[in-house]
Structure 1
Amino acid sequence: MARTRARKGGRTLSLDDIVQTALRIADGEGLDELTIRRIAAELGVGAMTLYGYVRSKEEILDAMADHVLGGIRIPEADTADPAAVLRAAATGFLAMMREHPSIVQLMTSRVTGSIHSMEGGMEGVIARFLEAGLSPGLAVRCYSFLITYALGFAGYQRPRPWGRLDDPESAELRRQRKHFYASLPAEKFPSVVAIADDLVDLPADSQFDFGVDCFIATVVAELRRSPNRPDADRRP
């Protein structure tokens, strides 16, 4: 992404400029609003100028996924504590998807095999799992669960902002959602009406943490049962 070229006004244009602009549009407005013409307009150049760097919109999408996955930040965790390592991975995955909401759509619509994305988004995470004592098979199962769980949760929570307690409007949004559940016809929704106060937490961060905690408890129990068993990766 280091290639640059002079553009109007004496400034330079680089592939990184294109990717960052594409991410800003896609994260804020969705992939449907992302076009070569729109990116060019944001950068102050003609659409044909972008074709000096990329051959198509598909190539830009691949570069976006490459940039986000390759730059994932997983919090540090004591590798002597498998639970801490798994929780750090879950936290890092969700943070990445919140910072760049478009990655949820990108990851569920295309496959990237770039060295950069695989080094950051796969190798770095799996290496920590193995260092924490997980067998190869268990490391793969944990990686699979955590990244797909984070994808699903991030996609579910995004259009339901009352789940984000750090949102300044969350209190009012939660109040409105509780009222919605509580005001449903009781004869048709007796259970929903009865637990309206709790249902508002469906997209809450606490629900994500609950799922991660349940998963980690299962993994830790498996490690305690057979930490050094030769056939630990096999399923009955």
Structure 2
Amino acid sequence: MGKLSAQAIAERALEIGDAEGLDAVTIRRLATDLGVTPMALYWHYKNKEQLLTGMADHLIAGFVPKPADERPWQEQLRDLMVGLVRTLRAHPCAKNVFEQVDVVTVPNFLAVWDQALGLARRAGFDVEESCLISKYLLQSAVAIADAPVHVRPGEEYIVRAKQAGLRSLPMEKYPYLVEMAGPLVDTLDPMLYDTFGVDLVLSGIEALAARR
């Protein structure tokens, strides 16, 4: 194998994390998969904490926000959130990775965060409000991308059982749960789920800005 890069290590770590969970991501496992000694990995990541930070940075590197331009802030904020959701959804382990890192140590995430803050300021929000908006926006993107939209193989019976449970509720007491039992627990169109979620968050921000 040629010279091992930090990016190659982070990419393989994400692949393992996506397939098997973060507990399976270890220096020894990575070294075996990459055909090197553990010491070769320590040149780039001295411990699991640094490795997780590298994974987070590499993950967000797939979405680098464009510099702010002259378009309305609403369009740019939408591009930022949609791009982030799509990037995060591509990695099932993304939410767990970001739960275990300090985002201040993740350069690519800082770029996204800084742009969100700037766009909030352009929308007319003050400093404290802009901080809150950026946090809600970024946390919402992570939550939207992490939501399961597919039934995993072998779990179809669980879905059917949940649907049956909801449909068996007293109609007079829970009319809407009974009516919507199917779509509540069934598979969802990822594009619809993500788009509606982004619309919901951004509509709230735009409504607040309009009252300024």
On the 8 A contact 1:82/1:132 being kept in 2, the answer is yes
Write the deviation string for residues 94-122 of structure 1: whole angstroms up to 9, x where unpaired. Answer: 11211233221111122132362344232
Specify the alignment match of 1:218 in structure 2: 204
Q: Which amino acid aligns with 2:19?
A: G
Alpha-carbon distance between aligned partners in 2 of 1:106 and 1:127, rounded to the nearest angstrom = 26
TM-score, normalization: structure 1? Answer: 0.70
Write the deviation string for residues 8-33 of structure 1: whole angstroms up to 9, x where unpaired. Answer: x5x22222221221122112221111
Give 1:81's match in structure 2, choosing from 56, 72, 97.
72
TM-score, normalization: structure 2? Answer: 0.76
Specify the alignment match of 2:181 in structure 1: 196
Kindly tell me: are residues 201 and 211 of structure 1, through their superposed partners in 2, closer, same or farther at Cα, counting changes over 3 Å? Answer: farther
Write the deviation string for residues 62-114 of structure 1: whole angstroms up to 9, x where unpaired. Answer: 11122223552447997543332332222122112112332211111221323
- Aligned pairs for 1:129-208 within 5 A: 129-131=120-122, 133-157=124-148, 160-162=149-151, 177=159, 179-184=160-165, 186-188=167-169, 190=171, 191=174, 192-200=177-185, 204-205=189-190, 206-208=192-194
Specify the alignment match of 1:21 in structure 2: 12
Kindly tell me: are residues 204 and 145 of structure 1, through their superposed partners in 2, closer, same or farther at Cα, counting changes over 3 Å? Answer: farther
Q: Which runs of 5+ in 2 are unaligned?
A: none
User: How many equivalent pairs are there?
Assistant: 206
Alpha-carbon distance between aligned partners in 2 of 1:185 and 1:217, rounded to the nearest angstrom = 31
On the 8 A contact 2:86/2:145 being kept in 1, the answer is no
Q: Percent identity?
A: 26
Tell which structure's C-alpha radius of gyration is larger: 1
Q: Which amino acid aligns with 1:184?
A: G
Kindly tell me: are residues 208 and 15 of structure 1, through their superposed partners in 2, closer, same or farther at Cα, counting changes over 3 Å? Answer: closer
Higher helix share: 2
Alpha-carbon distance between aligned partners in 1 of 2:183 and 2:198, rounded to the nearest angstrom = 19
Q: Which runs of 5+ in 1 are unaligned?
A: 1-8, 164-168, 227-236
Determine which structure has greater relative contact order: mean sequence separation of CA pairs < 8 Å that are 6+ residues apart, divided by chain length: 2
2:107 is the alignment partner of 1:122 = no
Shift of 1:196: 2.2
Give 2:60's match in structure 1, choosing from 63, 69, 79.
69
2:80 is the alignment partner of 1:94 = no
